[in-house]
A and B are shown apart, each in its own frame.
Chain A
Amino acid sequence: MDQFEVKALFGGDVSWYTPTNVTLWMALTVVAASALMIFGARGRAIIPTRAQSAAEMTYGFVYKMVEDVAGHDAVRFFPHVFTVFMFVLFANLLGLIPFAFTTTSHIAVTAVLALTVFLSVTALGFILNGPKFLGLFWVSSAPLALRPALAVIELISYFARPVSHSIRLAGAMMAGHAVAKVFAGFASALGAAFFVPVLAVTALYALELLVAVIQAYVFTILTCVYLRDALHPSH
């Protein structure tokens, strides 16, 4: 479990401002995201290079996601959604580098991310729709007698959103890394049969690569779904 430990970079205790491995790997996340989006697209060519193509595809992928899931009027929040996507994606991917620290495997990080999304989306809902935003909990298509019960369920599910949103990401990241660690531990214990867990870790690594991207995608698309609810609260 030491791979998840938060350590001060230059020794000493960890207080709120201490540069830690969290600082390092979050900074690397910013560097990697900027490298793709700025350095990759620096040619600004009509016929793109491979790196520029990758930057444009990332842009187009998230843009289309926002437009399709949250609606065309949600495009003004595209930079915010894009920032969330890039952060989660590169934090997940960089975490897969051996000896790296995975910032998104910490519930503190994902919870703050999810709460930021939750609070800003809820505030946005009330600012844009006023009291009508509460219509999100009042299922007007259901029979009148059922509506109060449904409202309670809707309310609970609404407040469960940031919980599932954050635990899903942190759990997936942590589980994958922990399993890899356990398999790697087998390799030294098994002696001559060491190659079995090594192969398993290799296969697991490929799966984790997939999970890293998918979790970034899931986190972002859920953000878009919540954003749509804020912009169009009526069922």
Chain B
Amino acid sequence: MEEIEASGTGMPQLDITTFSNQIFWLVVTLVVLFYIMSRVALPRVAAVLADRRGTITSDIAAAEDYKLRAQEAEAAYNKALADARVEAQSIIDAAKAEMQEELDQQIAKANAEIAAKSSESERRIREIRDSAMEMVTQVSKDATGDIVEAFGVPAEASRIDEAVSARLKGGAA
């Protein structure tokens, strides 16, 4: 001890009289620091880090969810669009079919009217022709009777009728 104090310029690190003091305070310091770190500081920092990891994970999950929902919305939109197209097509088809039906009805009705009118006309033409033919026959008989009387032969109505009819038939034939 005297030797160390005598060499005053020696290294204080080798002055063993201070060792017990340094060791005592070092142990106290380490124990205090260990308790502060392990009980307070490290759990706090660990909690913050875990929190952050949790937040990041949940944010990524939420983003994933939103992405999924966006895709679903897009699919729904596309489906609605396709449905609307199909519906529009069916409405167009129905309208076409209705118009076609009405057109067919009108055409049928017009055809029926045309047919009725033409048969009526034919009937009347036939009537006119028949009455014309009868008049021609009558005129022929009257004329024949007059001609026969003019020759001085008494006109026998029945014979004249026969003759005229035969003639008209032959002429017609």
Contacts and interface: CB of A to CB of B under 8 A. Distances in A.
Interface of A: 1-2, 4-6, 14-18, 20, 22-23, 26-27, 29-30, 33-34, 37-38, 41, 44-46, 48, 52, 55-56, 59-60, 78-80, 82-83, 86-87, 103, 105-109, 112-113, 116, 170, 174
Contacts of B22: 6, 22, 103, 106, 108-109, 112
Interface residues of B, number: 39
B20 A26 contact: no
25 contacts: A1-B10, A1-B12, A5-B12, A6-B12, A16-B21, A16-B23, A16-B24, A22-B26, A33-B41, A37-B36, A37-B42, A38-B41, A41-B45, A44-B44, A45-B48, A46-B52, A46-B55, A48-B48, A52-B48, A56-B48, A59-B42, A59-B45, A106-B12, A108-B13, A112-B22
5 smallest CB-CB distances across A and B, nearest first, come from A37-B41, A79-B38, A16-B20, A6-B18, A26-B29
A166 to B, nearest CB: 11
Interface string B31-74: 01110111011101111110110010000000000000000000
B77 interface: no
Contacts of B25: 20, 22-23, 26
A60 B20 CA distance: 35
A58 to B, nearest CB: 9
Contact of B26 (A17, A26, A45, A59): A26
B45 A112 contact: no
- Looking at chain A's contact residues, the main secondary structure is helix
B21 A20 contact: yes
B172 interface: no
Interface string B105-149: 000000000000000000000000000000000000000000000
A22 to B, nearest CB: 5
Nearest to B44: A41
